[in-house]
Amino acid sequence: NAGVMQNPRHLVRRRGQEARLRCSPMKGHSHVYWYRQLPEEGLKFMVYLQKENIIDESGMPKERFSAEFPKEGPSILRIQQVVRGDSAAYFCASSPRTGVPIEQYFGPGTRLTVT
């Protein structure tokens, strides 16, 4: 049973370019969460999605960031016009639709470097 998959693992973008990060949840999981980790810091929640729905985007920056989880395919976190401050590790987690507690399982992350 494959775990949460993220790609690419490393992404380098120049300022002003777009970054697309992909996340495939664990088999049977229909909830996806995105977190950002700055160097030497803990993870900060960005957005919580279910298939075709954004449930909570309270942690998303108001501009340049968007996320989707289509009916088919992976969840995508999109960062437009990247700036140096966007350099971080972005982690995706998934959880099953039912069950208590709702345990979140993390992928290996995408490390974004903006030059």
Q: Which residues bind another protein (CB under 8 A)?
A: 4, 6, 31, 33, 35, 40-45, 48, 55-56, 58-59, 91, 93, 95, 100-109
C-beta closer to another protein: residue 92 or 114: 92
Q: What is the DSSP string of 4-38?
A: -EEE-SEEEE-TT--EEEEEEPPTTEEEEEEEEE-
C-beta closer to another protein: residue 12 or 55: 55
* Token representation of residue 83: 């700036």
Residue 53 CB, nearest distance to another protein (Å)? 10
CB within 8 A of 75, min separation 6: which ones? 22, 23, 24, 25, 32, 34, 49, 67, 68, 69, 92
C-beta closer to another protein: residue 95 or 114: 95
Residue 44 CB, nearest distance to another protein (Å)? 7
Residue 84 CB, nearest distance to another protein (Å)? 21
C-beta closer to another protein: residue 20 or 106: 106
Whether omega before 70 lies within 30 degrees of 0, making that bond cis, reads: no
Residue 4 CB, nearest distance to another protein (Å)? 7
The closest alpha carbon to 89, from 113, 72, 60, belongs to: 113
